[in-house]
């Protein structure tokens, strides 16, 4: 537990510095995390007998990240289409060693991991010229929304854990994640909605829209965690890795963020909250 706490404190401090700095530093760190998470994904499925494409997948992740860094959605569509077709062709030209299901798992890994991290990069640069007044000083809009994404995701997990531990008795998805309870999930909904509203006050953003975003992120974060749980049950692993002492692997730590990052990005885009 002590190792987990120390690692968590160091991780939060490092994340805060990187988020605040933004730019190439944030983008490079997002790329590193996506490559590490994909490596863990490949290793998990390879241990289960699948020949998931490692090198090709890492190259694909680099291309997807590059599109996010450039902020060009048309290029992102073109790259993901190209990656899909190329990986499927591996099942033809390397038919003896790469089955169709292996190619499909490779595509799934690149899209599942690469696209969310690309959206984090795009979100950090969203309306970067717009500054929000906060009690601790001005903050770029994109930086603030990255904090919203992470804080609401962490809040969802924290409220679910403590409420579930205290009063949880009804299983949410017993065959997937036995420790999750309906009570914990409801606690997550209430708590994360409140956190979203509180962040609206902190960043001087519309409180109602931020509360709605908090509610959505509580739901999406839970689903993201369950998706990784399904994958881990499929591959027979407990943790995706051990690179983060006391916390497992990168995939373990960012499983919910893989779902919440795109939701925050498109919520900002569709709600036009930056202009309100």
Indicate which CATH number applies to the domain containing 225. 1.10.357
Residues 107 and 151 in one domain: no
User: pLDDT by residue for the chain (276 residues), tens digit each?
Assistant: 566 667 767 878 888 899 998 899 999 999 999 999 999 999 999 988 999 999 999 999 999 999 999 877 788 999 999 999 999 999 999 988 899 999 999 999 999 999 999 999 999 998 888 889 899 889 999 999 999 999 999 999 999 999 999 998 889 988 898 889 999 999 999 999 999 999 999 999 999 999 999 999 999 999 999 999 999 989 988 888 777 666 678 999 999 999 999 999 999 999 988 776
What pLDDT does residue 52 have? 96
242 and 151 fall within a common domain: yes
Maximum CA pair distance of the chain? 61
Residues 265 and 153 occupy one common structural domain: yes
Same domain assignment for residues 79 and 208: no
Do 145 and 119 have their domain in common? no
In-domain check, residue 62 = yes
Q: Within this chain, do residues 244 and 228 fall inside the same structural domain, yes or no? A: yes
Q: Do 98 and 156 belong together in one domain? A: no
Q: Total structural domains in the chain?
A: 2
Please tell me whether residues 132 and 29 are part of one structural domain. no
Positive/negative CA dihedral, 218, 219, 222, 224: negative
Taking CA atoms, 97 is separated from 93, 103, 172, 239, 244, in Å, by 9, 11, 39, 27, 33
One domain for residues 262 and 191: yes
Q: Residue 181 belongs to what domain range? A: 127-276
Is 69 found in the same domain as 192?
no
- Same domain flag for 271 and 146: yes
Q: Is residue 76 part of a domain?
A: yes
- Sequence-ordered strand ranges (E) for the chain: 131-134, 137-140, 171-173, 177-181
For residues 231 and 44, the answer to whether their CB atoms sit within 8 Å is yes
Q: Let me know whether 89 and 132 are in one domain.
A: no
Asked, for residue 5, whether it belongs to a domain, the answer is: no
* Helix axis angle, 257-271 to 207-235, nearest 10°: 150
Domain stops at, among 59, 94, 124: 124
Token pair of 147, please? Answer: 């904090």
User: Of 178, 12, 39, 187, which Cα lies nearest the Cα of 113?
Assistant: 39
The distance of Cα 22 from the centroid of its chain, to the nearest Å, equals: 17
Residue at a domain's end among 90, 106, 124? 124
In a domain, 44, yes or no: yes
* Last residue within a domain, chosen from 62, 93, 124: 124
């Amino acid at each position: 537990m002590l190792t987990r706490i120390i690692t968590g404190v160091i991780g939060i401090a490092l994340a805060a510095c990187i988020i605040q700095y933004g730019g190439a530093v944030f983008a490079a760190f997002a790329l590193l995390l996506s490559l590490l998470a994909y490596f863990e994904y490949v290793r998990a499925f390879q241990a289960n007998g699948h020949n998931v494409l490692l090198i090709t997948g890492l190259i694909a992740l680099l291309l997807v990240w590059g599109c996010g860094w450039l902020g060009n959605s048309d290029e992102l569509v073109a790259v993901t289409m190209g990656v899909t077709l190329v990986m499927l062709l591996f099942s033809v030209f390397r038919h003896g060693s790469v089955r169709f299901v292996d190619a499909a798992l490779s595509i799934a890994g690149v899209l599942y991991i690469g696209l969310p991290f690309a959206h984090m990069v795009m979100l950090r640069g969203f309306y970067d010229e717009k500054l929000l007044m906060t009690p601790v000083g001005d903050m770029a809009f994109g930086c603030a929304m990255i904090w919203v994404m992470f804080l609401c995701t962490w809040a969802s997990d924290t409220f679910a854990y403590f409420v579930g531990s205290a009063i949880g008795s009804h299983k949410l998805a017993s065959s997937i994640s036995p420790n999750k309870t309906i009570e914990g999930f409801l606690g997550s909904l209430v708590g994360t909605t409140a956190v979203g509203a509180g962040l609206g006050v902190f960043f001087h953003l519309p409180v109602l829209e931020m509360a709605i975003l908090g509610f959505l992120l509580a739901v999406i974060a839970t689903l993201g965690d369950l998706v990784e749980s399904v994958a881990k049950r499929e591959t027979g692993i407990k943790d995706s890795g051990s690179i983060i002492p006391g916390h497992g692997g990168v995939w373990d730590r960012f499983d919910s963020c893989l779902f919440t990052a795109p939701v925050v990005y498109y919520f900002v885009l569709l709600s036009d909250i930056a202009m309100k």
